[in-house]
A and B are shown apart, each in its own frame.
Chain A
Amino acid sequence: NSKVIQTPRYLVKGQGQKAKMRCIPEKGHPVVFWYQQNKNNEFKFLINFQNQEVLQQIDMTEKRFSAECPSNSPCSLEIQSSEAGDSALYLCASSLSISNERLFFGHGTKLSVL
């Protein structure tokens, strides 16, 4: 069973609505990743954090998404104004370090934008 907890499991939004999902990384893991997995099962890296600091993020994430990993609170990923193309499985993963360590994935939040 996954020790990375993602909520909600399913999320349905209309176009233009905000969509927010949360992730509790595995205990003791300071590095958190968000990936988008589309209907063709392709992974797209969105952003990663080490503790509360952003390490890397892609352009799309900078513009339409906001993400944070506050101390002592779940990490979150929010789409400011959902588009149909955002419909996907959003996977959160955590790891012990950024160097060649395995990722532990949550079950994901499946977002459907109608």
Chain B
Amino acid sequence: GDSVTQTEGLVTLTKGLPVMLNCTYQTTYSPFLFWYVQHLNEAPKLLLKSSTDNKRTEHQGFYATLHKSSSSFHLQKSSVQLSDSALYFCALIGSALGRLHFGAGTQLIVIP
């Protein structure tokens, strides 16, 4: 069945450094990938949505590229800020009926 794997449970970084959060997926359908961000006691919000294969999408300084050849949609940012501290979830819509499959999430902590 459809699944999403996020390998890092916790990432701690100093402000200003680059970050990459890994996301790989498995599906037999044509994939649509998303990154959602959840700040403490907040609702999850969409951060990024995949475009066509090998095309980069960007929002609020974050970017990701869907690579169907490696089944990946890694999230990157060149310089993290304190306000980026949050939970980040990679999610996949693989099949019909719109069900979103979430990865286990990565907690990003940015320190001064």
Contacts and interface: CB of A to CB of B under 8 A. Distances in A.
Interface string B58-100: 0000000000000000000000000000010100010011111
A4 B107 CA distance: 24
Contacts of A41: 38, 87, 104-105, 107
Nearest to A95: B98
**Looking at chain A's contact residues, is the secondary structure mostly helix, strand, loop, or mixed?**
loop
B101 interface: yes
Contacts, number: 58
A105 interface: yes
Q: Which range holds the interface residue count of chain B?
A: 20 to 34
B98 A31 contact: yes
**Looking at chain B's contact residues, is the secondary structure mostly helix, strand, loop, or mixed?**
strand
Contacts of A13: none
The winner among B38, B45, B99 for most chain A CB atoms within 10 A is B99
A108 B96 contact: no
Nearest to A110: B41
Contacts of B87: 41
Given A42-B102, A42-B104, A43-B89, 20 more contacts: A2-B43, A33-B100, A40-B104, A41-B87, A42-B105, A43-B102, A45-B100, A45-B101, A48-B97, A56-B99, A99-B98, A100-B49, A101-B98, A102-B34, A102-B49, A103-B46, A105-B43, A105-B44, A105-B45, A108-B43
